Structure 1
Amino acid sequence: MASIVMVYASMTGNTEEMAEAIAEGVQEEGGELVMKSVLDADGSILEQYDGILLGAYTWGDGELPDEFLDFYDDMESLQLDGKKAAVFGSCDSAYSSYGAAVDTLIEKLTELGAEVVLPGLKVELSPSEEDKEACRQFGKQFVRLLKE
């Protein structure tokens, strides 16, 4: 079975709730998952897994959260060819750039050679039960795509 790492940042708990629901989906589909807060991870960890899930809320007017910046910089020298990846995060439509952190991470993963196999999953603020089910399905679909 392919191994998967999930690295995420969450300030208010919204992205963490998404991460937990995605993890449930991954595990229900039989995926082997390691979850880490971005504060407890180094970018090089991404090279050790077949699948990569990154989660970040969008800060301010479209920036990555501060706690994600060192990790993002660590990613610069990585070679992620052959890796499959997906990105998720909580967003706030009150800002002009909706979920830009998700888009930024997708761009970086693609630049480093990873194949982003799912569209970025963006949830408005706190995930509803319906959003959490979408997150579980996101996790299941990611595992299925890793098996291909």
Structure 2
Amino acid sequence: MKAHVVYATITGNNEDIADIVTEGLEDLGAEVEETEISQTEAEELNDADLIVICPYTYDEGHLPEEGMDFFEDLGDLDLSGKTFGVAGSGDVFYEEFYNLAVDEFSKKLLATGATQGAANVKINLDPDEDDIKTLDKFSNELFQAASK
């Protein structure tokens, strides 16, 4: 199984999340490519069976600026037959805007025809021990869903 993990980060938190998910998928036997969002063309996702996006939410619900082209280009893809998951870091300080990018990427991927393989994961700031367990479970659920 080929997986592609794409992350956007300012503080390093989402790169940490992407690394945890990548390691979890590799441990399950997936061949994983991990890339930063501004260095990734949306079309590259066509080569993956499993797609994971790890975005941050900026300020009051804004998507990562460096990922806007990628986000918009996702809308042009037909990812039917692919499985996806979205996990991202945010700051609960922003209350109702907390981790909205996770939801927006999830909606965009659903619109491409891809199948959501696990519930969205929202992490406050940097992943702690409990979050690592949650991300391992997320990776496992995604791998199982994509294996069907």
Name whichever structure is richer in helix by fraction. 2
For residue 74 of structure 1, what is the aligned residue in structure 2? 73
Segments of 4+ moved more than 2 angstroms: none
For residue 32 of structure 2, what is the aligned residue in structure 1? 33
Corresponding residue SS for 1:126: coil
Q: Measure the CA separation in 2 of the matches of 1:83 and 1:125.
A: 29
Q: Answer yes or no: is 1:127 the counterpart of 2:127.
A: yes
User: What letter corresponds to residue 37 of structure 1 in structure 2?
Assistant: E
User: What letter corresponds to residue 45 of structure 2 in structure 1?
Assistant: L
For residue 99 of structure 2, what is the aligned residue in structure 1? 99
Q: Answer yes or no: is 1:53 the counterpart of 2:59.
A: no
**Number of equivalent positions:** 147
User: What letter corresponds to residue 106 of structure 2 in structure 1?
Assistant: I
Q: Percent identity?
A: 32
Q: Measure the CA separation in 2 of the matches of 1:133 and 1:13.
A: 19
CA displacement at 1:138 relative to structure 2: 1.5
Corresponding residue SS for 2:98: coil
CA displacement at 1:25 relative to structure 2: 0.8
Q: Which moved more, 1:127-136 or 1:66-75?
A: 127-136
Structure 2: 5+ residue runs without aligned partners? none
For residue 141 of structure 1, what is the aligned residue in structure 2? 141
Structure 1: 5+ residue runs without aligned partners? none
Q: Measure the CA separation in 1 of the matches of 2:137 and 2:6.
A: 18
User: What letter corresponds to residue 67 of structure 2 in structure 1?
Assistant: F
Corresponding residue SS for 1:5: strand
CA displacement at 1:19 relative to structure 2: 0.8
Q: Measure the CA separation in 2 of the matches of 1:80 and 1:11.
A: 28
Higher relative contact order (CA 8 A, sep 6+): 1
CA displacement at 1:54 relative to structure 2: 0.6
